[in-house]
Chains A and B, each alone.
Chain A
Amino acid sequence: MDSIKLTLPTKPEYVSLARLTIASVANNMGFSIGDVEDLKVAVSEACTNALNHSKNSDTTYDLTYVVENNKLVFTVTDRGVGFEPETVAKPDLNGQQLGGFGLFIIKSLMDRVEIVSERGSGTSITMIKNLSMTHEI
């Protein structure tokens, strides 16, 4: 079981770095092209949340990948303002409520998602994607 940890500045220009690294790790593990795209979106959404919740742009957040035999476990941990996941409203396309899309997308694309958040001290989102047994060549 390998573990990789990155600490990124809470600046928008480095979110693409999270996508590049997860694509590399997932490709090496044998994830399909479609799954790699889903992983890129999930990590990017979690990083975007970390940025939006950060108190200022001089802070950092952590990204951890744990490579297991048949799954990729990755966690985005910020030291931001925190939130209550259960209070995130369902997105409404026709109204003004456009927040909450990120979490909805993450939950839809990943096999398992765990969120731990505390007001004032930050949020940690752990996402798990199982390696599909059908291999593409």
Chain B
Amino acid sequence: MSSNNIIEMEKTSMVSIKGEIDIYSIEKFREIIEERIKTQAPEIILDCSELSYMDSTGMGVLIELRNKTKEMGQKIIMMNPRPNIKKLLSLTGVDKIIEIVDNPVN
């Protein structure tokens, strides 16, 4: 799992999440998002176009950070997750509490 293309805008902090998020890469993922949270941007967009795999370990951290950002008035948004990941987000109901957007323009 790696990240790059960090684009900072006034209101949005965007980070591209690539590869696989599992029990091995989870701490790196957590660090990346926590770093974004520190920018105090109201919106943190995770570009998931190149995220090939994520399981409950990743979703657990996402929910935890979503609850944390909610208290601080920030919002985490997942952009362009692949169908296999979308399926899990829907199955677990995570898609009801974390906004998911499909944006064809990358």
Report if A94 contacts B (CB, 8 A).
Answer: yes
Expressed in whole angstroms, the minimum distance between the Cβ of B78 and any Cβ of chain A is 15
Do A12 and B22 touch across chains, with their CB atoms under 8 A apart? yes
Partner pick for B23 among A15, A34, A37, A94, CB 8 A cutoff: A15
Expressed in whole angstroms, the minimum distance between the Cβ of B31 and any Cβ of chain A is 15
Dominant SS at the A interface? helix
Complex: how many Å from CA A51 to CA B55? Answer: 15
Complex: how many Å from CA A13 to CA B22? Answer: 9
Report if A56 contacts B (CB, 8 A).
Answer: no
Report if A89 contacts B (CB, 8 A).
Answer: no
Do A102 and B56 touch across chains, with their CB atoms under 8 A apart? yes
Partner pick for B55 among A12, A45, A94, A98, CB 8 A cutoff: A45
Number of A interface residues in the complex (CB < 8 A):
25
Size class of the B contact interface (CB-based, 8 Å): 20 to 34
Please report which residues of chain B, range 9-64, place their CB below 8 angstroms from some CB of chain A when the two chains form the complex: 20, 22-24, 53, 55-57, 59-60, 63-64
Partner pick for A98 among B53, B63, B93, CB 8 A cutoff: B63
Expressed in whole angstroms, the minimum distance between the Cβ of A55 and any Cβ of chain B is 17
Residues in chain A near residue B83, CB distance under 8 A = 34
Do A48 and B84 touch across chains, with their CB atoms under 8 A apart? no
Expressed in whole angstroms, the minimum distance between the Cβ of B96 and any Cβ of chain A is 8
Do A48 and B92 touch across chains, with their CB atoms under 8 A apart? no
Sample (18) of A-B pairs whose CB atoms are under 8 Å apart: A12-B24, A15-B23, A15-B24, A40-B53, A41-B55, A44-B22, A44-B53, A45-B56, A48-B55, A48-B56, A93-B92, A93-B93, A94-B67, A94-B97, A98-B63, A101-B59, A101-B60, A105-B55
Using a CB–CB distance below 8 Å, which chain B residues touch chain A? 20, 22-24, 53, 55-57, 59-60, 63-64, 67, 83-84, 87-88, 91-94, 96-97
